Amino acid sequence: MTNYVVPPWGTTRLRPFPSVTVVPAVSTEIDPDTQLGIRRDRFGRVVEMGKHGTGTAVETSTI
């Protein structure tokens, strides 16, 4: 009898993460009106972080 090793089904669907640009934020503060975090670069300019949803996958979707 020959034993075959079957990989978990999810590992056959893995792909490398897409290339991203890292924008380092130097400081983070809370906006008192919106209660959202504001990221600033080393020159004090606001770094736009885009829209982020809770519990949603955009870059790594397998659908």
Domain spans in the chain, listed from the N-terminal domain onward: 24-48
Both tokens assigned to 1: 């009898």
Please state the φ and ψ torsions of residue 8, each to the nearest 5 degrees. Answer: -55, 140
Return the pLDDT at 13: 82
Alpha carbons within 13 A on the beta-carbon side of 32 = 0
> What local confidence, expressed as pLDDT, does residue 9 receive?
82
Ordered per-residue pLDDT tens for the chain, 63 residues: 678 888 888 888 888 878 877 766 688 899 999 998 888 888 989 888 776 655 555 566 555
What separation in angstroms does the CA of 41 have from each of 13, 32, 33, 47? Answer: 37, 19, 21, 6
**CB of 37 closer than 8 Å to CB of 48:** no
What does the pLDDT read at residue 5?
86
